[in-house]
Structure 1
Amino acid sequence: MRKIWISLCFFLLFLNGRSQEVEEVLYKAGFENVMVKSEGEDTIKVFFEHREFRSPYHSMRYAKLLLRDVQDKNIVWAPLYHNFPIGNYNAENYNYRPLTKEDKTFFKRNNSWFKGYRFHFRIHPNFAARFGFYDQPFQTKLDIILDTRLYLATGLSIQSGIRIPVQNSLDSRNSGVRLAPSLLHCFTQPVPNHFFGISLGTYYYDRYGWDLQYRYSPLDSRWSFGLESGLTGYYRIDADSYATGDLSFFHAVVDAEYRLPFENLSLKLSAGQFIFEDKGFRVDLIRQFGTVDLGLYAANTNVGTTAGFQFAFSLFPGSIYRSQNLELRTTEAFRWEYSYNNEEPVAKSYRLGIPRLSNILRQYNARFIKSLSN
């Protein structure tokens, strides 16, 4: 009996040593909050977050390459987003399954939401443009934003930073450095396939207030459905002044999105009351190219009709400086949208400073991830 206990202790020490080796290898490569769970004799599950990549596929592929010399077991990935696990992906074929009760218990027991993360400082541009005026056909505005996100608990974070004006021929805002959009944000998945994003703070389009997002999104399905709602008001912040209006603008938009069976195309139909309280609908056709999304859209509301395009991608070079506790990087998701109608605010939605749930979960869809691995 004593020999059995001694053998068991040595086996557990061996497993712990291999787990620590996996955690150290991944952490040095920019992965954060790495946790390794044994799934029997021949499989381990690796929880992790990597904030430099838009698509979890690229982080999983990178981790697999890093671990090929230090890990001889089968691997199941459990990627995190904002310190909350999304689901399970098999490392060989990227089959998806929701989190189990055991996964949630393990994560809750081992999650190091403070010590497991570096202090990230993110650089990203805020660009706006208007075309078509005779005396000034190309009006632009460019700010550089330096912000950071701090985790307060599982799925709960606060984001803030500074906005540095670079060029402005679009409006009359002054050129002083000022506070960037700042918010308290909660991301959660209380039951499988049901995702929530709740925010309170200041946003782009000079809006402040609260924002609620819900999405039913089985990550191995072609269909997903969502609701976005909120109550906002205008605010203005300059280098030496601050002013707010009443919280009087209510918006509520529902949508259905279908992933077509070819070319990583998604068709999304949205309808409701948008942020300028215009009522109508919008249709988006989105194509995913690895780390880049390209989209066309058309919209009609009681204010008018418009069409345009949008794109989203990670900015080069990614990580600029990384140490044990600090990282400086460019944004993982720069998004810009153009509308041919410059004057009438048709079917608009403000940017939060973080991607919206539909744009996030589209990257985690197992059909998209499998297409990248083929």
Structure 2
Amino acid sequence: MCGRNSVRREKNRHPDFGTQGPQPFQLLSPSGVRTRGGEWDVEVTAEELRSLYREMVIARRVDAEATPLQRQGELALWPSLLGQEAAQVGSAHALASDDMAFPSYRDHAVAMSRGLDPVAMLRMFRGVTHGGWDPRENNLHLYNLVIGSQTLHATGYAMGVQMDGQNSAVIAYFGDGATSQGDVSEAFNFAAVYNAPVVFFCQNNQWAISEPTEKQTRVPLYQRARGFGLPGIRVDGNDVLACLAVTKAALERARRGEGPTLVEAFTYRMGAHTTSDDPSRYRDEREERDWAAKDPIARLKAYLSAEGAADDAFYNEVEAESDALGWRVREAVRSMPDPDDMALFDHIYADGHALVNEERAQFAAYQASFADADSAEVK
């Protein structure tokens, strides 16, 4: 990488999986100083660093566009990813093309890193589709709004991959609040017992809506792994390089047949839980300012500049690209056609079902009753 010796490097003792203390594993400090991580270290080229930066900026721009779209009535709801770009982009870059990702409802940067057009994911939040994309096209499962259940889906899928003899891995994304759901504990147990090739990637953004992490657990979340017989690691979730390195190591471990890993990405939700939430009612400004100083994008930008891996021309190009995408997303959302009312009965059963047919007929009659009422008023 260009200018490697121009930036001070600090020693960073790395522990083995499952033995780390509460201090998150870090490769890039908040001021942009690169540290070394022993066998967990990851070498990335200047081009790869620029790609990581570009994807984080673009994800933030799409997020920033979606929030006002919801305020203007164009979207029903929007869960912001602001502050979590490094955790998502870094971990997604560790995935191979044939690995399968199971996201939650906030993992927009993961979706875009997997090649999904952001317009596709906004269709669901506008209410014009129940899904938005084919999971097989990008090996990206549909968003999950039932808290924590995607961990079970991922575990089952990983067990199937294992039984099929495929050399691929699975990753499940979820938040700290999801760990309070029984589904997550069940997924940990099944994955550990069956040695499933799955990585559980928990983005601990400190708040489950208005409940802080200390109201959910008495130990660091990654330490829960020990009780289920799988290794756990806490990583700096605002450090894109550390998230890439740790997730890559965990996925490789899964592919070698060594079973699941729990990764706790220690990060912060800088925005509201969703557009229906007001974080000022339960968070103080000092906490938000402290975490803003650890901004994942500013951190990588400082490192890129210090290394001579990017200049103002590059940053301006990324900003222009992200602005153009923001305008395209806005226009696409506003011009989405309303779905056919009867389409909600399609694709439930591959070969049809008598009960669905009956419900379809009842709904059609219900819809027709409005047309009959309108006709009667005209007469």
Q: Same fold (TM over 0.5)?
A: no
Structure with more strand by fraction: 1
TM-score, scaled relative to structure 1: 0.28
Q: Give the number of the structure whose residues are more often helix, by fraction.
A: 2
Q: Provide the TM-score with structure 2 as the length reference.
A: 0.27
* Higher relative contact order, structure no. (Cα contacts within 8 Å, ≥ 6 residues apart): 2
